[in-house]
């Protein structure tokens, strides 16, 4: 975690300072920062803070050297590559470092399945915990009230995992076993590949079963154990019906998690979450609200009915909706109010800013205590490119105004209702951009 924070901080610092530089200048700066991080390692190791020290220094050192070699090869090949190829290579070679490290360092190999998306972090940690007690092979299983079709996990008298029998090959006695196989297991890489050499397809289905590893491990007197997870976690997805059931279980789990945390869901069954939704305590979510990916809400937020949020950060005491849409890269500071039929995209509204009715705000920043009137449109797109609009503090945007980007509006400015504003508006200024009214009387 510490390494991730340091690398993230370094990446942000490099990108901020490298704005406007060439590709090679950027890479030189980035490599220099990486080198400085390497120099900090001895200092970190000398500090008596065990949380900062690697648990396995030789493996960390190996990966570091291997990463440097990959970077060296990458930069040597760079003159022969296109820019697109360089961009891909720059962010994929760390993957190869991890893969080769598994093979060369004999690290644990965790086998997961792409059609089992509900396995929890808790269950994986239980696998690792049991593996680290000196067990050679650990398999994750579950108790099922209807085990038909599942492989059965047969235990010995000492609680060890004796074998896994596929449903097609199970005897009548084995078919009565309710402890079923999820397929998920963990062992050292060398153990797995040694056992795999002896797997055959001599069974009723004529298939190669990965589950045969358990029987083979026992034959080699290795220690094999099993741990349990809830059945719904191990649910495989083979069709749209399975997918719907998995989604139902996931949503139910997220709703319970939110309620237990101190979030009020007025009608829980009508609120839908994403895998990474984060809600603060004392938040109130009214019926028919959808949270897309990347949503974070602080404490004491109110989301009113029929609102959709995605990729945004909402700070405390914010009110959203009803019928509001908050799109990615939006930040709403404390006390912001977003009303009905308001759409916000890639914008930041500072403390106590308000957009209460029927407005579109895109690629903008809106200062503290600024009010955006009903029907205001931030015209950020000219048909080719997007441009930004900055509105200062304590400003007032009148109803039905059109703000044409790029544009800057100063603090305490007033935009008259119905105006189309194309030029910069200074602070403490009243701006009018509309046709003059003419009244003609009937004869």
Q: Is the pTM of this model over 0.85?
A: no
Contact 353, 366 (CB under 8 A): yes
Q: What is the pLDDT of residue 198?
A: 86
Contact 63, 101 (CB under 8 A): yes
Q: What is the pLDDT of residue 442?
A: 79
Give dist(CA 218, CA 213) in Å, integer.
9
Q: Which long-range contacts (CB under 8 A, 24 or more apart) does 20-27 make?
A: 23/83, 23/86, 27/75
Reply yes or no on whether 357 is catalytic: yes
Give dist(CA 89, CA 87) in Å, integer.
6
Q: What is the pLDDT of residue 32?
A: 67
Q: What is the pLDDT of residue 48?
A: 47
> Distance of CA 324 to CAs 121, 294, 309, 339, 357, Å?
33, 17, 8, 7, 9
Q: What is the pLDDT of residue 437?
A: 84
Place of tokens 């050192």: 61
- Which listed residue (357, 388, 408, 412) is catalytic? 357
Positive/negative CA dihedral, 199, 201, 203, 208 = positive
Place of tokens 């609102």: 307
pLDDT beneath 50: ranges in the chain: 1, 48-52
In sequence order, the β-bridge partners of residue 389 are 364, 407
Q: What is the pLDDT of residue 167?
A: 84
Cis peptide before 406 (omega within 30 of 0): yes
Contact 136, 221 (CB under 8 A): no
Phi, psi of 70 (to 5 degrees): -65, -40
Contact 161, 153 (CB under 8 A): yes
Of 259, 281, 278, nearest in space to 268 by CA: 259
Q: At what angle do helices 2-17 and 23-46 cross, to 10 degrees?
A: 150
Eight-class DSSP state of 324 = -
Give dist(CA 144, CA 140) in Å, integer.
13
Q: What is the pLDDT of residue 43?
A: 60
Q: What is the pLDDT of residue 51?
A: 46
């Amino acid at each position: 975690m510490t390494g991730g924070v340091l690398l993230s901080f370094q990446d942000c610092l490099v990108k901020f300072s490298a704005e406007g530089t060439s590709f090679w200048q950027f890479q030189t700066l980035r490599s220099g920062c990486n080198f400085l991080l390497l120099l900090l390692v001895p200092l970190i190791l000398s500090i008596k803070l065990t949380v900062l020290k690697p648990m396995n220094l030789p493996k960390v050192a190996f990966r570091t050297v291997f990463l440097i070699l990959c970077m060296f090869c990458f930069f040597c090949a760079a003159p022969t590559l296109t820019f697109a190829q360089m961009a891909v290579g720059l962010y994929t070679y760390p993957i190869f470092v991890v893969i080769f490290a598994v093979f060369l360092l004999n690290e644990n190999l965790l086998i997961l399945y792409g059609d089992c998306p509900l396995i929890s972090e808790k269950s994986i940690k239980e696998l690792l915990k049991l593996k680290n007690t000196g067990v050679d092979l650990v398999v994750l299983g579950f108790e099922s009230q209807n085990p038909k079709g599942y492989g059965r996990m047969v235990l010995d008298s000492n609680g060890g995992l004796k074998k896994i029998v596929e449903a097609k090959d199970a005897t009548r006695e084995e078919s009565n076993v309710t402890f079923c196989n999820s397929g998920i297991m963990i062992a050292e890489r060398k153990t797995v590949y040694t056992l795999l050499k002896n797997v055959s397809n001599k069974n009723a289905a004529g298939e190669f079963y990965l589950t045969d590893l358990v029987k083979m491990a026992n034959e080699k007197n290795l220690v094999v154990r099993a741990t349990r997870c809830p059945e719904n976690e191990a649910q495989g997805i083979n069709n749209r019906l399975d997918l719907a059931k998995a989604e139902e279980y996931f949503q139910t789990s997220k709703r319970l998690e939110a309620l237990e945390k101190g979030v009020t869901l007025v009608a829980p069954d009508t609120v839908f979450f994403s895998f990474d939704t984060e809600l603060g305590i004392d938040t109130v979510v009214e019926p028919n609200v959808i949270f897309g990916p990347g949503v974070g809400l602080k404490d004491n937020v109110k989301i009113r009915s029929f609102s959709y949020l995605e990729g945004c950060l909402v700070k405390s005491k914010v009110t959203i909706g009803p019928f509001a849409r908050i799109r990615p890269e939006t930040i709403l500071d404390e006390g912001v109010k977003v009303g009905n039929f308001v759409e916000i995209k890639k914008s930041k509204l500072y403390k106590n800013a308000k957009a209460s009715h029927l407005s579109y705000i895109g690629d903008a920043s809106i200062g503290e205590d600024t009010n955006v009137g009903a029907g205001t449109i931030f015209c950020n797109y000219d048909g080719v490119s997007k441009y930004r609009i900055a509105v200062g503090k304590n400003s007032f945007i009148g109803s039905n105004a059109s703000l044409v980007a790029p544009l800057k509006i100063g603090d305490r400015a007033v935009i008259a209702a119905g105006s189309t504003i194309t030029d910069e508006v200074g602070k403490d200024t009243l701006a009018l951009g509309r046709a003059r009214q003419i009244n003609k009387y009937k004869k």
